[in-house]
Amino acid sequence: MNKASKKAAMIFKGSTINAGRVVAQVCLFSAGRQKLVPEYTLENDDAIKQELERFHAARAECSEELARIAAEVEASIGKAEAEIFITQKHIMNDPKVVEAIALLITAERKNAEWAIAGVLSEFEEKMASLDNQYLRERSSDLGELRRRLLNRLTNEKIGFLCEGQAHCRRGANRVIVAEELTPNMIVNMKMNKVMGFVTEHGGITSHAAILARSLGVPAVSGVSGFMQYVACGDTVLINGDTGEVHLHPDDATVKTLIQVMPEEKEPEKIVMTPSGMELTANASSIEDVKQARAVNADGIGLFRTEILFVGAERLLSEDEQYDYYRDVVEAMGGKPVTIRMLDIGGDKPLPFLRQKKEANPFLGWRGARFLLGNHVIFNGQMRALGRLSKERKICILFPMVIDVAQMQTLLDRAREALSGVEHDSANIRYGAMFEVPSAFLQARDIMKKIDFSSIGTNDLIQYLFAMDRDNEMVSQEYNPDHPALWIFLRELSAVARELKKPLSICGEMAGREGMPQKLLDAKISSLSVAPRLIPRVRNEMIRYARSQKQTQR
């Protein structure tokens, strides 16, 4: 860019989601929510003809786009996830759908947007009310399709606003700027090449933030109104250490903030976790698992299955899940893998399920409650895991357990679900997430019923301190050093040791600098963190083990 035309530098302040600094061009990402459907009458036959052409052109463009997305998603994520886009393409070209829309345009003399919205909404409603569960679930594809066609006709874009322009890289080697990071965005981006994130909303332990951290790139959230100042291709400098975001930074700022960064360290040597300690990885995809193996993680301490469903935008069959979980376990090469049952609700709704709107989703139909209320989903997932137990040892983790009675119900229902499928119960370990304060108060009785436990401090902190994990306005108060939290952690650790039951921690705080030492002091010696953090956390564990040896001498 010519120096004279440089835009004025601006500095914005948000909250740090992940530390580090980076300077790069921006890719703007928009959810492109279509609100009002334009409606107008076509004056003559020529106008009708043009409108039909407009509809067919939009349909052809969307078809092409869907085919391209499906191919990309299949290559980067998987076949099951790609299928949603192929289905949408088929619906869009279904002669019944096409004829109905064309007929409305011609007979009612109305514009294409109005006809598309009318026809697809009607089909969607009909499908949503069918008895056939599969077809009912497919109805959300029609909603997606309607949005896609309308966005195309009104030039409103979902995804990257710069898509199609020379500088657009769909996030590769760029900083993503968005209103909010949503799990759905993962299917739209070249995630492993994104250099950083700036968002207007979103808290420090939201699942999307966890995703950003697992990529290890600088990220700042809560930069309110940022999107109105920034255009695709603008340069931003993210200072994840301070939460500052510099828009159009001048050369001097870039020089000071970026060039003083320490040299990239050589990748640390693969070493072992000290004996008596365990360091496993949190993962949401096969990619994460591969990365965990590459850094010699001792296993997968938490595999979040919900991202698989969010990415596929539909429920996955028992067979599909079985294949996927088997790939996960195989990718870990025989090391222990803990798979968490779907943890849906709160900030992770499954939009295609058309769940009722809740005033307080974090206090509502989520975690274990959701699982117990959805037999089909629960049984399908349980049976897939049960089948896997015939070949491999598998640890099954239940999310958001609230008390001993609920724990018992979960176990009963798990065994019922497995009764109709070949499995090997000697290969199955059941565990509970401790992330709701009431469960800590019944810890002894809960632990007696299960084989292992894992502490989820992301939710525990939220429920203990009445502090929404997704709300950037309260994220300054997120404090894993709070003495009240440590009372919970130390007491749970004492109960686990007394009962000789394995206890680990998989909340984000375990990966924070200085925390491993504090957790080890509290005798919580099994930590599960994002794969990228493993070398550093392991170094902290090694230093701790050495210091313990020295004091013993």
- Among residue numbers 304 through 333, which ones bind ligand PEP (CB under 6 A)? 304
Residue 21's beta-bridge partner residues?
Answer: 239
CB of 162 closer than 8 Å to CB of 27: yes
Q: State which residue, 208 or 223, has the beta carbon closest to ligand PEP.
A: 208
Among 456, 480, 511, 531, binds ligand PEP (CB under 6 A): 456
Residue 506 as a binder of ligand PEP (CB under 6 A): the answer is: yes
Q: Would you call 62 a catalytic residue per the annotation? A: no
Rounded to an integer, what distance in angstroms lies between the CA atom of residue 469 and that of residue 463?
Answer: 9
To ligand PEP, the closest distance from the beta carbon of 52 in angstroms equals: 48
Residue 345 as a binder of ligand PEP (CB under 6 A): the answer is: no
Among 81, 459, 470, 472, binds ligand PEP (CB under 6 A): 459
Residue nearest to ligand PEP (CB): 456
Alpha helices in 182-302 (DSSP H): 207-215, 251-259, 286-294
Closest CA to 324 of 305, 301, 341: 305
Q: Would you call 232 a catalytic residue per the annotation? A: no
Rounded to an integer, what distance in angstroms lies between the CA atom of residue 204 and that of residue 508?
Answer: 9
Closest CA to 353 of 376, 369, 322: 376
386 binds, among Mg ion, ligand PEP, none (CB under 5 to 8 A by kind): none
To Mg ion, the closest distance from the beta carbon of 464 in angstroms equals: 13
- Region of 4-12, 125-133, 373-381, 457-465 interacting with ligand PEP (CB under 6 A): 457-465
* 36 to 65: interface string for ligand PEP, x by CB under 6 A: ------------------------------
- Region of 25-33, 182-190, 324-332, 454-462 interacting with ligand PEP (CB under 6 A): 454-462
Interface positions with Mg ion (CB under 5 A): 435, 456, 459
Q: State which residue, 101 or 339, has the beta carbon closest to ligand PEP.
A: 339
Rounded to an integer, what distance in angstroms lies between the CA atom of residue 182 and that of residue 163?
Answer: 19
* Structure token pair of residue 388: 């896997």
To ligand PEP, the closest distance from the beta carbon of 507 in angstroms equals: 3
Residue nearest to Mg ion (CB): 459
Cβ–Cβ contacts within 10 Å for residue 283, how many?
29
Closest CA to 198 of 183, 208, 188: 208
Residue 458 as a binder of ligand PEP (CB under 6 A): the answer is: yes
Residue 122's beta-bridge partner residues?
Answer: none
Cβ–Cβ contacts within 10 Å for residue 150, how many?
22
Size of the site for ligand PEP (CB under 6 A): 10
Marked catalytic residue, from 207, 232, 246, 423: 207
- Could you write out the three-class secondary structure of 512-534? CCCHHHHHHHCCCCEEEECHHHH
Q: Tell which phi-psi region holds residue 510, choosing left (phi > 0), alpha (psi between -120 and 50) or beta.
A: alpha
Q: State which residue, 209 or 385, has the beta carbon closest to ligand PEP.
A: 209
- Region of 235-243, 375-383, 451-459, 485-493 interacting with ligand PEP (CB under 6 A): 451-459
Rounded to an integer, what distance in angstroms lies between the CA atom of residue 204 and that of residue 298?
Answer: 26
CB of 403 closer than 8 Å to CB of 442: yes
Helices and strands counted in the chain (H then E): 19, 17
Closest CA to 431 of 452, 401, 460, 458: 452
Residue 83 as a binder of ligand PEP (CB under 6 A): the answer is: no
Among 199, 235, 457, 475, binds ligand PEP (CB under 6 A): 457
To ligand PEP, the closest distance from the beta carbon of 218 in angstroms equals: 21
Active site residues: 207, 506
**Footprint on this chain of ligand PEP (rule: CB under 6 A):** 302, 304, 343, 435, 456-459, 506-507
